[in-house]
Homo-oligomer: A and B are copies of this chain.
């Protein structure tokens, strides 16, 4: 259990909320205008955030066209190019990129993260995903998605290969003695020669060991094999619990698996994703959120809701409550989440659709004090080691967090007032991994 919070910013492609680009003052072009991303990253660095996280998908998101044409997700930067550019204009903030183990190659992934780690002076992190969007498969020569269990099997071996490649050179292998002309010591280079069920990769990597030894390993899978992979490999988990109770259960579950995997539970930070909407009063915050939700077009919202329910909702009375609907084969957890939301907040069909079509995950909506109270509780009661902040809209939603919530957390001693170390590992309080071939 940490004594203070870790905060990362979840940028995908800018805000996750589908109405965000329409909010008053929003930069509608931020998904492909680097100037804005640079300003966001620099503001987060001034607020001493642990990391800027660029989520990623390998296809246009699968939505009905009525929703898609209203969605800013249709265009976005690619993470390595974006984060490398940000590395050059920031100095301390961590840079976490998603890379897929299902549709990429270990040699490429190992190299890019090692290179980002060298460019940024030790600030890179890899969010290992197995890619749940089935449309991605069709962009990579497959007609069907790779099966879930097989994806995780491949992910586990992918991790072994990538970390093995990062260990190609001992930390002291590169001598570069201009006098003798010896650039490196071949005895301190390891040829991996990996031959596994999924991969054959010879190595060595053609880049010196990363500054952090290994870039920080992040995992965000929520399934049984996802949690197991996290317990075995991850140093940060981006979680998506719906509330405090599920967060605590998840926290105990994943950390509980770690000793059996030979790991210290302190070497993993669990950071649930939470949208943060701040007002001068709780009422004002709720109004901001309602206003934001109202920017999700009804056609688009109802299309998303129909998919989640597995039932065409377009004929329902928008201003009435959600009617009884028969169970179908649609994703059970998605459907259950919608039904719960409708019941808990007594939303009309329209509000429910807009909420669901906007951002359906965990949200802290209140004043800086009420939100700091919540965060403090999650931290102290072992539901979280910090949060992966989702900004409701940009730039204002981000400035609300950095300008009001962060100072409040700092006042309470819950968040750093300056970076203490230089690398992301140091920000997170994580050990630098030993080289497995040159311990």
Contacts and interface: CB of A to CB of B under 8 A. Distances in A.
Contact of A138 (B85, B181, B202): B202
Contact of A141 (B103, B104, B199): B199
A59 B206 contact: yes
A349 B283 CA distance: 85
- What is the interface residue range for chain A against chain B? 35 or more
Interface stretch (A112-120, A249-257, A358-366): A112-120
A87 interface: yes
Nearest to A18: B183
A255 to B, nearest CB: 33
A108 interface: yes
Contacts of A189: 74
Contacts of A181: 22, 70, 295, 297, 300
A282 interface: no
A69 B208 contact: no
Contacts of A89: 88-89
Given A28-B178, A181-B22, A200-B141, A206 B75 contact: yes
A116 B81 CA distance: 6
A74 B295 contact: no
Contacts of A61: 206
A395 to B, nearest CB: 15
| This chain's copy number in the assembly | 2
A135 interface: yes
Nearest to A112: B78
Interface in A44-93: 57-61, 65, 68-78, 80-89
A209 to B, nearest CB: 9
Given A80-B112, A112-B80, A206-B59, A186 B68 contact: yes
Which of A77, A86, A138, A181 lies at the interface centre, i.e. has the most chain B CB atoms within 10 A of its CB? A181
B75 A207 contact: yes
Contacts of A316: none
A26 interface: yes
26 contacts: A21-B176, A28-B176, A28-B178, A34-B88, A34-B119, A60-B204, A68-B186, A70-B182, A72-B183, A74-B174, A74-B183, A75-B174, A75-B207, A76-B206, A77-B207, A78-B111, A80-B81, A81-B115, A84-B84, A85-B88, A86-B88, A107-B140, A138-B200, A138-B201, A139-B201, A142-B200
Given A72-B176, A80-B80, A107-B139, 16 more contacts: A22-B181, A26-B178, A28-B178, A32-B208, A34-B87, A59-B206, A61-B206, A69-B186, A75-B169, A75-B174, A82-B115, A103-B105, A139-B202, A139-B203, A141-B200, A181-B297
